[in-house]
């Protein structure tokens, strides 16, 4: 569960610079896109390391030169297709030779990362468009590395299409809704292991490996979908429809996951040996350059990760990497595994020394070297340049609120800081690492995109958002001010504050605190944003955000201190933050409020029920109210099962403390939240009612965890604004 930021509006072109000076920022301004940044389309580096491809104006895929910035060729255009149903590109991928492009249109979301769509393959040289299937909608279609075939999933079954003759092979036939899934993850894997494709082609295109999820024993969850305004529900005006799916709550059964391989030469299917244990996770499969299938095996407690090499033809496996953590293995490192060209070495990110760092191993798992070292965390891994033995990564070396990009040799020498500006830096490197595009912003600087040579030399600025910077000079924009304070326990915490534009230190101001507080999350980052905090500042409130214990980029001990007691230390630190604020001379100590979404909503409820009147008001949006109600992969990672840790679940549940509610509460939820179920708020509501506590409660019909669609998001923020103005 990761919902650290809520988008307020779709991206729209910047309006002309407003000539009125010092206008206050309103919700209307945020939602009409007035302060949206210009970005650049997602860049796909090309194999030669000299060019990149990008979607242009949503209608063309264009090849550009890094060195000159000039357009080299139009690789695909909707005008070339002669198909009126394809009006724009949203994404694309090449095959290995970059002779074919696969893309999709007419996509429809299922959950956060999953969707169905109509996929197409464009042969660049032949100028030929091929629909992946005219018979069925598809999921996660991918080209084989040699570009001759496409694999895809439809109705929980895996298919292969031969592009030369159009022949299709149905690899699996047992797919069944709420029972058997082939090639895509089940709900909880998709959400908590953060991926949507559970199959992969071998490098030689002769094998297709996949995960099979048997979720027949997983309990189901249902919610009603009302007629509302959605066309797909319009026929249910008298009786709502029920949406039912498999959702394993903490302590409940998971899917039994098996791994299979299909050999295209002999049409044989082989089950891969992942061991006798079935109550375990298979969060990834991939292939090494040497042609070995790599299987990730994670135990139910998620504190032991094993990597297996598999012989795809016999199914035999051998373990080559084994890591145990006294808390848990962080799932965000799974996609950082990187092999060298011949598969004789690999790089992996681990917390084995108490900080997240990069390690180099032989193919058999023998440790060769710890590549990065220090009391700071690696926060992203960009890749490995084998000819120069150089690793490229992002880290928080200059402080948890800052991100920089570095390079270093695999033996730990010749470390270079690539980014210099203080703030948040991210890079996209060309193949071969000759060029990179840097994305930079800080609290006062809208995002700047620049193209550089490997040496750091600036080639050109791609987008500097100077138009937005000029607009902000004519509005009451108050950048975040970063600070640190020390709790009574001696813990130094990072925070930011946004003050009203006309701040007067002689006055007393009410405060609205905002936080998320979830494990390894961060809200205190030096990056650009114009959000709801500006609206609240325009209405005379100071907005304050503190990253308490459990949050990221400060080492394992800091972020994992909350293990088995989710909510305990996070609550203490939000109360410490509120008490720190109340001592400041310009704060009205009687008017401190707090709000949060998802995990942040859970924290708001704990602050109001266990805070002994610290907060005058709070808004909890889509909150977890007892971790027994949330999914098992996320929850058990930090809490183990309710059977093992009942007190950890119940002692930190706001439902347990409902009778102690103090302050004004606004509780909000979407009725169709597939992630944090409406059940959470319903149970909290009942506990408060039985305790005789008055509060405000609002439910958004048919809305999921993000609570958006039509006028919904504007309505939500207006409701919260009016509540704060009235109650705080």
Nearest to 90 by CA among 41, 37, 147, 127: 41
Structure tokens at 426: 């991210």
Clarify whether 673 is annotated catalytic: yes
Residue of 51, 233, 357, 705 marked active site: 705
What would you measure as the largest C-alpha separation in the chain, in angstroms?
A: 81
* H or E element in which residue 720 lies: helix 712-727
Distances (CA, A) of 576 to 511, 569, 713: 14, 10, 31
Structure tokens at 370: 């710890």
SS3 (DSSP) at 636 = helix
**Per DSSP, which regions of 46-92 are E strands?**
51-56, 60-65, 71-77
Q: How far apart are CA 177 and CA 103, in angstroms?
A: 26
Residue of 51, 673, 674, 706 marked active site: 673
Clarify whether 705 is annotated catalytic: yes
Query: Going by C-beta distance under 8 Å and a sequence separation of 6 or more, which residues neighbour residue 70?
Result: 64
- Give the end-to-end CA distance of the chain in Å, rounded to a whole number: 30
Nearest to 13 by CA among 450, 467, 447, 462: 467
Angle 568-582/599-610 helices, nearest 10 degrees?
70
Q: How far apart are CA 415 and CA 412, in angstroms?
A: 7
Q: How far apart are CA 622 and CA 141, in angstroms?
A: 33
Q: Nearest 5°: phi and psi at 494?
A: -90, 145
SS3 (DSSP) at 355 = coil
CB atoms within 10 A of CB 26: 15
| Burial of 210: CB neighbours in 10 Å, binned 0-12, 13-18, 19+ | buried
Residue of 144, 356, 407, 598 marked active site: 598
Report the phi/psi class of residue 310: left, alpha or beta, with left for phi > 0 and alpha for psi in -120 to 50.
beta
The DSSP symbol for 83 reads -
Q: Residue 515 in contact with residue 13, Cβ under 8 Å?
A: no
| Burial of 514: CB neighbours in 10 Å, binned 0-12, 13-18, 19+ | buried
State CA 103 to chain mean position distance: 22
Clarify whether 265 is annotated catalytic: no
CB atoms within 10 A of CB 237: 10
Which residues are known catalytic residues? 598, 673, 705
């Amino acid at each position: 569960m990761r919902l650290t930021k809520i988008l307020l509006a779709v991206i729209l072109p910047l309006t002309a610079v407003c000539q009125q000076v010092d206008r206050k920022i309103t919700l209307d301004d945020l939602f009409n896109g007035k302060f949206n940044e210009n970005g650049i389309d997602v860049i796909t580096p090309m194999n030669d390391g000299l060019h990149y491809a990008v979607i242009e104006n949503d209608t063309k895929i264009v090849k550009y030169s890094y060195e000159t910035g000039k357009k080299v060729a139009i690789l695909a255009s909707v005008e070339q297709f002669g198909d009126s149903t394809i009006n724009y590109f949203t994404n694309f991928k090449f095959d290995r030779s970059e002779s074919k492009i696969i893309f999709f249109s007419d996509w429809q979301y299922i959950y956060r990362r999953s969707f169905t769509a109509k996929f197409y393959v464009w042969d660049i040289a032949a100028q030929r468009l091929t629909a992946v299937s005219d018979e069925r909608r598809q999921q996660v279609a991918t080209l084989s590395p040699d570009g001759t075939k496409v694999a895809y999933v439809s109705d929980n079954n895996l298919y292969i299409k031969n592009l030369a003759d159009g022949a299709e092979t149905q690899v699996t036939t047992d797919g069944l809704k709420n029972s058997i899934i082939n090639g895509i993850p089940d709900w909880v894997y998709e959400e908590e292991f953060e991926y949507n494709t559970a199959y992969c082609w071998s490098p030689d295109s002769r094998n297709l490996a996949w995960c099979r999820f048997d979720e027949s024993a997983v309990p189901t969850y249902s919610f009603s979908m009302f007629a509302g305004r959605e066309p797909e529900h319009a026929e249910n005006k008298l009786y709502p429809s029920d949406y039912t799916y498999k959702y394993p709550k903490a302590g409940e059964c998971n899917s039994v996951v098996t791994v299979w391989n299909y050999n295209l030469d002999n049409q044989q299917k082989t089950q891969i040996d992942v061991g006798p244990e079935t109550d375990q996770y298979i969060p990834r499969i991939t292939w090494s350059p040497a042609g070995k299938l790599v299987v990730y095996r994670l135990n139910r407690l998620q504190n032991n990760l094993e990597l297996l090499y598999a012989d795809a033809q016999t199914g035999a496996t051998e373990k080559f990497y084994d890591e145990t953590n006294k808390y848990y293995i962080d799932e965000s490192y799974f996609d950082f595994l990187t092999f060298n060209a011949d598969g004789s070495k690999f790089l992996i990110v681990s917390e084995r020394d108490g900080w997240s760092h990069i390690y180099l191993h032989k193919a058999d798992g023998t440790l060769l070297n710890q590549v990065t070292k220090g009391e700071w965390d690696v926060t992203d891994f960009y890749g490995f340049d084998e000819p120069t033995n150089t690793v490229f990564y992002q880290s928080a070396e200059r402080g948890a609120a800052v991100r920089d990009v570095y390079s270093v040799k695999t033996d730990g020498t010749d470390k270079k800081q690539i980014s210099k500006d203080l703030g948040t830096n991210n890079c996209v490197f060309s193949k071969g690492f000759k060029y990179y595009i840097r994305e930079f912003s800080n609290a006062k600087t809208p995002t700047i995109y620049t193209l550089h040579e490997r040496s750091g030399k600036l080639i050109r600025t791609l987008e500097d958002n100077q138009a937005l910077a000029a607009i902000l000079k004519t509005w009451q924009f108050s950048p975040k001010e970063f600070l640190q304070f020390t709790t009574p326990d001696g813990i130094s915490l990072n925070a930011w504050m946004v003050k009203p534009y006309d701040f007067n230190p002689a006055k007393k101001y009410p405060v609205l605190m905002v936080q998320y507080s979830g494990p390894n999350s961060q809200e205190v980052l030096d990056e650009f944003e114009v959000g709801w905090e500006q609206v609240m500042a325009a209405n005379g409130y100071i907005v304050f955000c503190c990253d308490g214990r459990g949050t990221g980029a400060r080492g394992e001990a800091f972020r994992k201190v909350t293990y088995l007691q989710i909510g305990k230390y996070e609550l203490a630190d939000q109360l410490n933050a509120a008490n720190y604020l109340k001592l400041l001379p310009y704060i009205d100590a009687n008017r401190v409020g707090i709000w949060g979404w998802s995990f942040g909503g859970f924290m708001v409820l704990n602050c109001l029920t266990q805070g002994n009147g610290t907060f005058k008001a709070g808004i909890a949006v889509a909150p977890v109210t007892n971790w027994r109600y949330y999914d098992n992969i996320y929850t058990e990672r930090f809490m183990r099962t309710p059977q093992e840790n009942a007190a950890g679940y119940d002692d930190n549940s706001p439902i347990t403390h409902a009778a102690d509610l103090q302050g004004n509460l606004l509780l909000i939820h979407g009725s169709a939240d597939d992630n944090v179920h409406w059940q959470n708020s319903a149970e909290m509501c009942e506990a408060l009612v039985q305790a005789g506590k008055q509060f405000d409660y609002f439910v958004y019909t048919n809305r999921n965890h993000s609570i958006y669609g039509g006028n919904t998001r504007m309505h939500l923020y207006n409701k919260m604004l009016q509540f704060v103005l009235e109650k705080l």
